[in-house]
Every structure is written in structure tokens, then in C-alpha cells.
């Protein structure tokens, strides 16, 4: 099952990736996002989405146009000019691109080229902008979300982190696509889990034509011949017919099978129908009050409903003739209804329970004629019994008609009223009777009811395909932003392994963008994997040679790698790109620091801080340059860095180093642990905490911390060297010798490792190897005469915890 699910996911992903290259909906969505960000002055977000669009389709003129616009707004005219000056785009260049080129040249002081671009623009004054301008009419997110994001940015720069967090969170709650708000929360260290902001969504599926259900066969009950035009027999006595059909008590259980015979229909339900006649059509001469009623599906004739129309008699004093006439009419009506009901028992049963929630509606097309001494309900010219649904809804019953010769009919009505529950009475409404009449009027004894024809047309198919492509485009961008959010958040909490994993799961076209490569370089740098970090930064510069972001980290990486030539070239290029950028001055300061020119390095770092007072890294590097000369000055620099960015762990580390040199072990351990809270996976910080614990004479805890550091960074020389020294102090010489030999292989030019090897063999009593390593140490550092004398005086069994053996 797992393999099948994984294969299904991979197929869906492949389908989505194949869809990207040819979908206009993705392009429209990107264009809307970019223009919305540019219009709302969210330059960082516009640059993010523009690079995603450009990486997805580098051959698209619209992608180039938007990417250049975002670069120009972000004050990177060199990169924008490179994009719009592509020789392959000379023929497809729009008037907007010429305008961008003129602005870039003006910002760079190339006024002649700016004039040439404007002259080319003047040759065609027709407004033929890029097709991307049409997307500016739609907003990807609201203006309120953009304003809250900008308010958060100002609060963060004004060192009000609480307000900044609140504003960014409100912006993301309005729309998660405001990228700057998410980056701001990551910078503040308050970003929630990505699934809270970007919950996972399933891959959309295309709507298809509905499947046709099988035909439904309706089996009606038995019907008598000529049921459509059935005339009741008026010659029989109504008393004899009703005695056969004495109403039975209500039984709610369903019958076991279909009603197969006329005899099986002698139950309560057909008898009830004798008092609930379908509505009868009136003649125009009758004055019938209008009222709501359910019209039948097809017109019914008077012969269908009530049989022969009885002649209406005037009320006279001869009461017996009147009663006889009414007796004949009642007999005809009851007889007709009983026969109809017996012919359709199964259908009547189904109609009663088909819609139990429906209320019966009063029939108002009947009128009451007040005669002499009695009340009669008549419909047209036919005298009817009181309609049960009308009586139930009105809550009243008709008065006794005063008839003397018909006690059985009155008794039947009482039994029906008392035996039936109110719920079943209300279910038996006029619609059920009309439906029964419609089915009864059908000529075929059994009919096949099939659903309507399949109305799925090519227009519906096209609409479904269009909807599917729109949803798939939205899903692609949403999932892409979600992956970037995961990688960015992981890097902000220094979970570099997760960051690199998320980068590896991104589409290949985005993995090769400069944004992603620079992110990978920073992740490798924080993991102390300097070789991999250098390759990533170099690839990012090859793709975007005028890039300024993250170049201060790249310059520090080259400082660690002792790449003097590469660092010099980087500093000069950054100065040529933008001499007013803090990245250029930081790279130049790192170059002077590598050349041991500390005063010039401090000048460069100070200049970088003046250009960007919020640049905590410039203050931190100034503090590191001042460590060997003035500890108080270094502490001041580190504190200023923390005021600019409280999460800058390098400043906490620098303060810990200052207090350690001042022998303030408790303060040093406090600041080291604060740095470790921000970056819990940094092996160097773990080693520094281990050093302070070792100074407190807790060697077991210190050794545990060094072990953790070595597991995190097996190739880091500093933490392994610290562990070797504590192993020597714990008289575990063989383990210390193993660590030192590994350090000798990885750092053959490090003289401190050679001195420690000579010391270990001297303490172990191996005079031959001790003399051998002592000679090597003398050749590597001939000026270290005092250390050599101290090493020769070391005898077997002495403690090895003397830090003065270190050269520095």
C-alpha cells in the first residue's frame, strides 16, 4: 500500500510539473501576485515571486519584464539591466522594457544609454505594453494585508518586536501569500508551524461526466379494466359496501410483499381515501373562492374524479326527498373512491410513507352552502363529506348535519378520527391523492422509469477542464510557497538539515535559482560544512553575478577558508556593483582582517554600520576584531549588535568569549548558553559551553558536551581538539591520541596538534614517539622554545590539562 501511495503521489507530481510549462493560468497567477506586491510597495515579496516566475520560464518575455521591474524596485539596477539587455530579447522588447532600461542606466550614471533607450521608446508612441499589465486589474490580496505587513516591517526596524509580530501575524491571517510577513516572523523567531499558515491541500482532480444510474422499475398494484373511466354503481346500498370495509386499527409495520389482490386492499388506507377526494375542477359559473392548492400533473375530468354529476335540488319542506338525494350522492362518491383505492393499494401505501415530513394543505376551492336547518359541504354540484386535511389544519370539525337516516357513515368518521394518529393524518395530504390518480390514469400496468438523458455536453467538458486547470495552477503556486516557507522557517531556527531536505524536494527549475542556492549556502555554512557552502555560493553568483544579498556571509566563509584571492576579487566586485551597500564594506573588512590589518578592517565594518544601522553583523565583526586589543570596546560592539538584532547568536557568542577571557566563568557560560538557545545545533557553541563547564571542574559534563559537538560536526577541528584536551586531562590518553591523529590528517599545518601529540606520548611513557613528535614540533615552530622545554619536563602520570601548551 505504501508503494502504491508513493507511486500515485509521484505520478500526480509529474503531472503537475508537466502542466506547469504550458499553463497560462500559472502565469496569470504569478503576474497578479507580482503586480500586487509592486503596487503595494512590498518589494521583497515581489522579488521573491518574480524570481519564481522567471526560474519557471526563462524564455518568457513577461517573466523577464516582471523580474527586471522587481529588481529595479529593490535597488538592484545592475541585475535589472542585465535582464532587459539580453540580446535574444531585442526583437521582443516592449515599451515597458525600454523604460526599465532607461531607468537602470540613469541610476547607474550611464546617461547616454538612458537617452538612447528613451529615443527608441519615442519611435513608437503607441501604447503596446507587456501583456502582464492586464493582470494589474486583479488583486492577489487585499490592501489591508499589505499595510499590516509594511507596519510590521517598520516596527521590526524600530526595534519593537511585539508590534512587529502582531502586524505580521495579522497580515498572514488576511492572506498567507504575503511573503514578507512570513519572512519577518522568521527573522523575529516567532514564526508558527508552516502547517498552521499553509495547511496541506490535496491535488485537485478534474470533474467528469456523471455516471448514468440504472433504470428504476415501478411495479404498481393491480388495476381493474377501465379504471380510468370508472363510474361507481349507484344501485348498491352504501351500508352494504361500507360494512365490507370496516376500518381497522392503524398498523405501522410495512407489508411483507406487494399487494396482489383486491381482497388484500381491504384495509384502513383505501377506506381513508374515501374521505379525501382529489380536487375537482369547477365550472366558470360557480363562484369559488381562490386559494392555494396543488395543481394536478394532468387535467382530470369530472368523470375521473366524482362520477356522474348529481342534479342540485332546491331546499323544500319535503325533507325526505332531500335526504334521499344526499344519500345517493354520498353513496356514489364513497363507492367510487373505494373502487379506485382497491385497484391501487400498493401505490396508496407508498404515497403515505414517501414524504413523512410534508404537511397537508387545506383545500379552499370548496364552498359551504347553508340550507334550511343543516350545514352541507358541496363541491360544484356534488355533495361531499368533510375533507379530512382541511379539518385537521383548521383545528375544528363540522357540526352534526342533523341527518337521521345515516348513523353508519357518522360512526365510520368517528372511528377514523380516533384510530389514526395525528402524524399519519397529516401525511395523507392532497399531493398523495393526486399522485395516486396520476399513476392510476396510466394505461400501462407496469412502467420503467429511467433518469433523464445525460446532459454532459462539450461545453460542460470544456468548463470542467478550465476549472481543473485553474485549480491546478493555484495548487502549484500554493505548494511551492509552502515548500519555500518550510525551508525558510527551518533556516531561521537553524535546523539546517530540514532546510536542505526541503530544498531537495523543490522542483528542479527552482533548485537552480540563485535564491535557493544562496539559501543552501547559508545552511551549509551554519552546519560548518564550508566546502559545500562555497560551491553553493559560487553557483549562485554564476547565475546572478550582481547579487548583493547574502554576500556578507559568503565573504566570512572565504575568511574561514583562508581564500585570500577569492575574497579580494569578491570585495572588488561588490564595490563596483554598489559602493554604498553594507555587503561590499563587510567583504572588504573581512579581506583586511584576513591580511591582519585590523585597523582598516574596523574602519570598513564601521562604514557598513553607518550605511545600515540595522546591520547587526557589522557590529559583531567589529567586536571580533577588537577582542585582542580592547575587551571593553568589543563588549560595546557586541551589545550594539544585540540591540539591532536580539537573535544574532554571533553577538552572544562574542560576549561569552569576552567574559571568558576576563575569567568571568559564570557570565561566559550564561552568554554561551543564550547563543546555544538560538542555534542549538552549532557544534562550536556546544564546545564553548563545554569549556566553561570544564573550567568549573565538571569534567564529566564537559566531556558529554564535547561528545555532542563532535557528533554534530565530525569534521570540525576545534571541537575535536577540545575533546582531545579534556581526554588528556581525564588521563584517557589512547582516545585523545586517536582524536589528535585525525586532526593531524585534516589539519597538517596546525602546530598545536603536534605539540599535544608529543605531550600524549610523553605521558603514556612512549619516549620514542614523544621524541619524534617533539622534533616535528620544533621544525614547525622554532620560536616556541619555552613550550618545548615545558614539554620535555613532562613526565608520565602528570595531569595534562595545561592550556599553556596551545600556541594561540
- Residues of the chain with pLDDT > 90, as a percent, come to 40
Higher-confidence position of 254 and 229: 254
Distances (CA, A) of 89 to 63, 410, 776: 12, 99, 63
Grid coordinates representing 462 are: 470544456
Which residue carries 575533546 as its cell?
723
> How far apart are the C-alpha atoms of 51 and 44, rounded to whole Å?
11
Model confidence band, residue 194 (pLDDT cutoffs 50, 70, 90): very high
Q: What is the pTM of this model?
A: 0.66
Does the pLDDT at position 576 exceed 60?
A: yes
Q: Calculate mean pLDDT across residues 42-47.
A: 94
Give tens-digit pLDDT for 453-495: 567 788 878 888 888 888 888 888 999 999 999 999 999 999 9
Segment holding 642, helix H or strand E? helix 631-644
Model confidence band, residue 805 (pLDDT cutoffs 50, 70, 90): very low
Model confidence band, residue 173 (pLDDT cutoffs 50, 70, 90): very high
Segment holding 75, helix H or strand E? none
Which residue carries 387545506 as its cell?
362
Q: Calculate mean pLDDT across residues 583-600.
A: 94
Higher-confidence position of 739 and 207: 739
| pLDDT of amino acid 87 | 63
DSSP for 720-764, written as a single string: HHHHHHHHHHTT-HHHHHHHHHHHHHH-TT-HHHHHHHHHHHHHH
Model confidence band, residue 296 (pLDDT cutoffs 50, 70, 90): very low
Model confidence band, residue 216 (pLDDT cutoffs 50, 70, 90): low
- Residues of the chain with pLDDT > 70, as a percent, come to 61
Grid coordinates representing 63 are: 517573466
Higher-confidence position of 151 and 259: 151
Higher-confidence position of 387 and 753: 753
Model confidence band, residue 675 (pLDDT cutoffs 50, 70, 90): very high
Higher-confidence position of 171 and 386: 171
Give the pairing of strands 382-383 and 447-449.
unpaired
> How far apart are the C-alpha atoms of 232 and 235, rounded to whole Å?
9
Q: Calculate mean pLDDT across residues 379-386.
A: 42
Altogether, the residues listed in the chain come to a count of 808
Segment holding 169, helix H or strand E? helix 161-174
Query: Helices in 645-732 by DSSP H: which ranges?
Result: 649-661, 665-678, 683-695, 699-712, 717-729
**HSE, side-chain direction, 13 A CA sphere, residue 461:** 6
Does the pLDDT at position 407 exceed 70?
A: no
Model confidence band, residue 375 (pLDDT cutoffs 50, 70, 90): very low
Does the pLDDT at position 298 exceed 60?
A: no
**HSE, side-chain direction, 13 A CA sphere, residue 123:** 8
Task: Give exposure, 240-279, as e/b (b: 16+ Cβ within 10 Å).
Answer: ebbeebebeeeeeeeeeeebeeeebbbbbbbbbbbbbbbb
> How far apart are the C-alpha atoms of 320 and 403, rounded to whole Å?
10
| pLDDT of amino acid 762 | 86
- Contact present, 652 and 635 (Cβ < 8 Å): no
* Residue 7: strand, helix, or coil: helix
Does the pLDDT at position 371 exceed 70?
A: no
Does the pLDDT at position 740 exceed 80?
A: yes
Higher-confidence position of 184 and 279: 184
| pLDDT of amino acid 159 | 87
> How far apart are the C-alpha atoms of 75 and 582, rounded to whole Å?
14
Give tens-digit pLDDT for 741-783: 999 988 888 888 988 898 898 888 888 888 888 888 888 877 7
| pLDDT of amino acid 460 | 78
Q: What's the DSSP call for residue 448?
A: E
| pLDDT of amino acid 364 | 45
Does the pLDDT at position 340 exceed 50?
A: no
Domains identified in the chain and CATH numbers: 10-137 (1.25.40.10), 236-248+261-278+301-308+320-443 (no CATH), 613-714 (1.25.40.10)
| pLDDT of amino acid 20 | 61
Amino acid at each position: 500500500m505504501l508503494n502504491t501511495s508513493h507511486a500515485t503521489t509521484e505520478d500526480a507530481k509529474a503531472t503537475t510539473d508537466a502542466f506547469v510549462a504550458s499553463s497560462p493560468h500559472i502565469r496569470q497567477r504569478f503576474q497578479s501576485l507580482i503586480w500586487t506586491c509592486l503596487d503595494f510597495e512590498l518589494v521583497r515579496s515581489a522579488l521573491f515571486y518574480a524570481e519564481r516566475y522567471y526560474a519557471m520560464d526563462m524564455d518568457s518575455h513577461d517573466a523577464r519584464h516582471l523580474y527586471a521591474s522587481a529588481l529595479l524596485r529593490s535597488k538592484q539596477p545592475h541585475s535589472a539591466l542585465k535582464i532587459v539587455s539580453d540580446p535574444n530579447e531585442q526583437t521582443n522588447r516592449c515599451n515597458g522594457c525600454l523604460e526599465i532600461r532607461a531607468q537602470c542606466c540613469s541610476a547607474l550614471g550611464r546617461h547616454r544609454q538612458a537617452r538612447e533607450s528613451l529615443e527608441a521608446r519615442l519611435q513608437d508612441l503607441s501604447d503596446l505594453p507587456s501583456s502582464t499589465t492586464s493582470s494589474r486589474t486583479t488583486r492577489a490580496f487585499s490592501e489591508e494585508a499589505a499595510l499590516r505587513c509594511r507596519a510590521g516591517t517598520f516596527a521590526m526596524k524600530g526595534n519593537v518586536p511585539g508590534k512587529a509580530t502582531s502586524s505580521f501575524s495579522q497580515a498572514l491571517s488576511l492572506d498567507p501569500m504575503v511573503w514578507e510577513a512570513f519572512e519577518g516572523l522568521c527573522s523575529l523567531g516567532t514564526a508558527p508551524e508552516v502547517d498552521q499558515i499553509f495547511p496541506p491541500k490535496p491535488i485537485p482532480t478534474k470533474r467528469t461526466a456523471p455516471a448514468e444510474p440504472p433504470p428504476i422499475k415501478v411495479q404498481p398494484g393491480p388495476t381493474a379494466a377501465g379504471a380510468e373511466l370508472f363510474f361507481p354503481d349507484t344501485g348498491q346500498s352504501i351500508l352494504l359496501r361500507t360494512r365490507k370495509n370496516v376500518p381497522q386499527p392503524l398498523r405501522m409495520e410495512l407489508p411483507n410483499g406487494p399487494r396482489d389482490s383486491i381482497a388484500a386492499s381491504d384495509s384502513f388506507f383505501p377506506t381513508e381515501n374515501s374521505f379525501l377526494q382529489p380536487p375537482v375542477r369547477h365550472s366558470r359559473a360557480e363562484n369559488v373562492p381562490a386559494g392555494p392548492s396543488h395543481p394536478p400533473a394532468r387535467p382530470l375530468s369530472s368523470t375521473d374524479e366524482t362520477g356522474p354529476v348529481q342534479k342540485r335540488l332546491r331546499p323544500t319542506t319535503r325533507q325526505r326527498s332531500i335526504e334521499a338525494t344526499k344519500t345517493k350522492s354520498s353513496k356514489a362518491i364513497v363507492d367510487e373512491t373505494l373502487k379506485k383505492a382497491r385497484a391501487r393499494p400498493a401505490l396508496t401505501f407508498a404515497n403515505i410513507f414517501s414524504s413523512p415530513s410534508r404537511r397537508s394543505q387545506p383545500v379552499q376551492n370548496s364552498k359551504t352552502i347553508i340550507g334550511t336547518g343543516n350545514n352541507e359541504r358541496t363541491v360544484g354540484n356534488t355533495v361531499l363529506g368533510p375533507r379530512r386535511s382541511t379539518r385537521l389544519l383548521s383545528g375544528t370539525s363540522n357540526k352534526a348535519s342533523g341527518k337521521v337516516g345515516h348513523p353508519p357513515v357518522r360512526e365510520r368518521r368517528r372511528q377514523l378520527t380516533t384510530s389514526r394518529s395525528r402524524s399519519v393524518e397529516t401525511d395523507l395530504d392532497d399531493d398523495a391523492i393526486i399522485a395516486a390518480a396520476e399513476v392510476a390514469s396510466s394505461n400501462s400496468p407496469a412502467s420503467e422509469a429511467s433518469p433523464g438523458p445525460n446532459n454532459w455536453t462539450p461545453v460542460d467538458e470544456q468548463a470542467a477542464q478550465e476549472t481543473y486547470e485553474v485549480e491546478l495552477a493555484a495548487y502549484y503556486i500554493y505548494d511551492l510557497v509552502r515548500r519555500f516557507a518550510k525551508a525558510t522557517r527551518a533556516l531561521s531556527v537553524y535546523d539546517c538539515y530540514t532546510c536542505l531536505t526541503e530544498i531537495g524536494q523543490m522542483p528542479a527549475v527552482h533548485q537552480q535559482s540563485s535564491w535557493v542556492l544562496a539559501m543552501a549556502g547559508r545552511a551549509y555554512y551554519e552546519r560548518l560544512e564550508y566546502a559545500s557552502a562555497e560551491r553553493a555560493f559560487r553557483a549562485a553568483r554564476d547565475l546572478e553575478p550582481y547579487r548583493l544579498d547574502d554576500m556578507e556571509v559568503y565573504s566570512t566563509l572565504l575568511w574561514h577558508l583562508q581564500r585570500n584571492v577569492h575574497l579580494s576579487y569578491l570585495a572588488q566586485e561588490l564595490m563596483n556593483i554598489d559602493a554604498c551597500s553594507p555587503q561590499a564594506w563587510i567583504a572588504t573588512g573581512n579581506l583586511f582582517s584576513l591580511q591582519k590589518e585590523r585597523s582598516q578592517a574596523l574602519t570598513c565594518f564601521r562604514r557598513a554600520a553607518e550605511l545600515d544601522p540595522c546591520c547587526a553583523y557589522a557590529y559583531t565583526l567589529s567586536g571580533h576584531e577588537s577582542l585582542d586589543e580592547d575587551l571593553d570596546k568589543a563588549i560595546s560592539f557586541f551589545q550594539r549588535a544585540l540591540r539591532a538584532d536580539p537573535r544574532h547568536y554571533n553577538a552572544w557568542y562574542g560576549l561569552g568569549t569576552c567574559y571568558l577571557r576576563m575569567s568571568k566563568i559564570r557570565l561566559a557560560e550564561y552568554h554561551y548558553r543564550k547563543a546555544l538557545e538560538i542555534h542549538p545545533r552549532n557544534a562550536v557553541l556546544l564546545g564553548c559551553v563545554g569549556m566553561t563547564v570544564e573550567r568549573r571542574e565538571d569534567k564529566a559534563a564537559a566531556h558529554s558536551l564535547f561528545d555532542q559537538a563532535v557528533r554534530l560536526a565530525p569534521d570540525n577541528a576545534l571541537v575535536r581538539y577540545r575533546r582531545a584536551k579534556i581526554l588528556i586531562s581525564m588521563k584517557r590518553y589512547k582516545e585523545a591520541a586517536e582524536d589528535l591523529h585525525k586532526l593531524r590528517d585534516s589539519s597538517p599545518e596546525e602546530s598545536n596538534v603536534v605539540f599535544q601529540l608529543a605531550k600524549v606520548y610523553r605521558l603514556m611513557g612512549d619516549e620514542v614517539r614523544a621524541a619524534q613528535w617533539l622534533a616535528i614540533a620544533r621544525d614547525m615552530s622554532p620560536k616556541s622554545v619555552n613550550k618545548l622545554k615545558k614539554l620535555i619536563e613532562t613526565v608520565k602520570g602528570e595531569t595534562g590539562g595545561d592550556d599553556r601548551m596551545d600556541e594561540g
